[in-house]
Amino acid sequence: MNIVSSLFDPTVKYPGLKDFDCGLDAINRFARHNLSKQVRQGVCVAYALLDSDDAQRLVGFVTLANHSIELSRLSVLELGSMPRTIPCTRVVMLGVAKSYQQHRLGQQLIKIALQAAQASAVNVGSFGVYLDADANAVGFYQKLGFVLLQGNQSPDPSPMFLSMSSIA
């Protein structure tokens, strides 16, 4: 297994995309049916992890988009005086194929996402990174520094946030 990362190119026919399976139906459907289309439309940007030992097989991806969040939703962060709407980067989808899980590839994808968010924030204001964590992923994101905004909402997705100042 030799994993390389790259910007997702919607014109490429990645092996593994049409049968992508990370164990979560919503992410699988998105990968198989909407990922290429949404990147092509400019709705999001995606980064891919590819197995160069297996014909550049798509083994994971993360998508990012511009987003904004109401200041009131960030009340757990005790920010003081801020605009009512806060610009941020949103991690929309993240998935790692089941056969490649438990190799820290999810952490690698989040690191790529955070680096992209930081680079973007230099040119366009972004206070942090927002995501809706799947019930089984809350602990994973907490270990990476994300804070629950409303407590754990399991079994529903739980909104989480990481401020730019917390990104190393």
Average pLDDT over residues 3-24: 96
- Structural domain including 91 reads 3-166
> CA-to-CA distance for 14 and 57, rounded, in angstroms?
6
Name the domain count of the chain. 1
Backbone angles phi, psi at 46, to 5 degrees: -130, 150
Contact in structure between 134 and 153 (CB atoms under 8 Å): no
7: amino acid identity, one letter: L
What's the pLDDT score for residue 93? 97
Give the pair of three-digit tokens for residue 29: 């459907």
**What's the CATH code of the domain at 43?**
3.40.630.30
pLDDT tens profile 76-130: 777 778 888 999 999 999 999 999 999 999 999 999 999 999 999 999 999 999 9
Contact in structure between 114 and 129 (CB atoms under 8 Å): yes
22 pLDDT above the threshold of 80: yes
